[in-house]
Structure 1
Amino acid sequence: MSSTRVLYLLGSAAPPVLDVGAVVERAQGQGWDVCLGLTPTAARWLESALPTLAALTGHPVRSAYRLPHEPDPWPPATVALLAPATFNTLNSWALGLTGGSFIVGFAAEAIGKGIPLVTMPCVNSAFLAHPQFDRSIRTLRGAGVRVLLGEGGFVPNRPGEGNPTAYPWEAALNAVSEMVS
């Protein structure tokens, strides 16, 4: 798909990532050229679907950094959406701890490059009680990241009561469009 609007869709290992193919199709229907990046664990969860997802996007699905001598296989991002974003991913990103995670490294660097960023967590309410979570959300918002947490975004459920099919992907795609309009 050729387009001047490029969406980096970056997902971590939370159950809604299993529906990422449908999300790619919705984004493409809105005119986005989608590049899909995953945490290593999310890539493992989707391992059998990776060739199909690469064919769907027209770009390799990335879960690791490219080698220094390799060209970047993706066009430059217009905007990036990091969703679902787990507790680990959000805290690592806010603390600048990329730890070999391609998507966290990209998101951390994108702040400095001025690439518009949207994230939507996927955490249960027990994680919200951890003191680092609130600090991380404040840090990301303070850096200009649009965090979709609470009404109008992801509303955390009680532990063990999640419903991955209710993850508000449409709110995330709407926020992405708003960031660049």
Structure 2
Amino acid sequence: MDQKRFLYVVVCAAGIAGDVGTLITAAQDEGWDVGVIATPHGLPFLDAAAVETRTGYPIRSAWRRPGDPRPLPPADAIAVAPATFNTINKWAAGIADTLALGTLCEAYGAGVTTAVLPCVNAELTAHPAYRESLARLRGMGVRIGEGSGGAAGFRWEEALELLAAR
């Protein structure tokens, strides 16, 4: 039997993060196995037990100790949803001070296809650092979706559409 493709879903501290099950279910329906990596501030937004039951994997949020086994298989693709202003700017700057950011920074070097759905309010999208960060991520080959500033109109499935695009 062929092994399924493995998708990392990186979840940030946005109010809609608790709805990540929508993306997990959609990905599984498309044949992906899924593991969740949460930013430290994003972790409290999740129902960890529900996510872990749905995926069959522990949510990762902290670095593992040397010698500890890797709890997730290597990623075939990564979806960052919802992605916050902070995560987008740090990622674009190459700051890897959390497991989530370290994973995203390494993904570029490993050639892992990555999609991001920003969840940033209008005031923060106006900041020049944000626009510059999106441009840098695009230049790195990151596929950037529309996203939104909140739950209204946030299309979780767009991450899968971006990953499937050629």
TM over 0.5: yes
- The equivalent residue for 1:170 is 157
Structure 2, unmatched stretches of 5+, are none
Conservation of the 8 A alpha-carbon contact between 2:87 and 2:101? yes
- The equivalent residue for 2:44 is 44
Which stretch shows the higher mean deviation, 51-60 or 83-92? 51-60
The answer to whether structure 1 residue 136 and structure 2 residue 133 are counterparts is yes
1:105 to 102, 106, 118: 102
Structure 1, unmatched stretches of 5+, are none
Conservation of the 8 A alpha-carbon contact between 1:8 and 1:77? yes
1:52, distance to aligned residue in structure 2 (A): 2.1
Conservation of the 8 A alpha-carbon contact between 2:143 and 2:163? no
Query: Could you tell me how far apart the structure 2 residues matched to 1:37 and 1:143 are?
Result: 21
Give the aligned CA root-mean-square deviation in angstroms: 1.5
2:71 to 70, 73, 95: 73
Query: Could you tell me how far apart the structure 2 residues matched to 1:130 and 1:27 are?
Result: 32
Query: TM-score when scaled to structure 2?
Result: 0.93
Larger relative helix fraction: 1
Query: Could you tell me how far apart the structure 1 residues matched to 2:12 and 2:3 are?
Result: 25
Query: TM-score when scaled to structure 1?
Result: 0.85
Query: Could you tell me how far apart the structure 2 residues matched to 1:44 and 1:168 are?
Result: 22
The answer to whether structure 1 residue 60 and structure 2 residue 47 are counterparts is no
Report the identity percentage. Answer: 39
What secondary structure is seen at the aligned counterpart in 1 of 2:20? helix
Conservation of the 8 A alpha-carbon contact between 1:3 and 1:32? no
The amino acid that maps onto 1:102 is: L
Paired residues in the alignment total 165
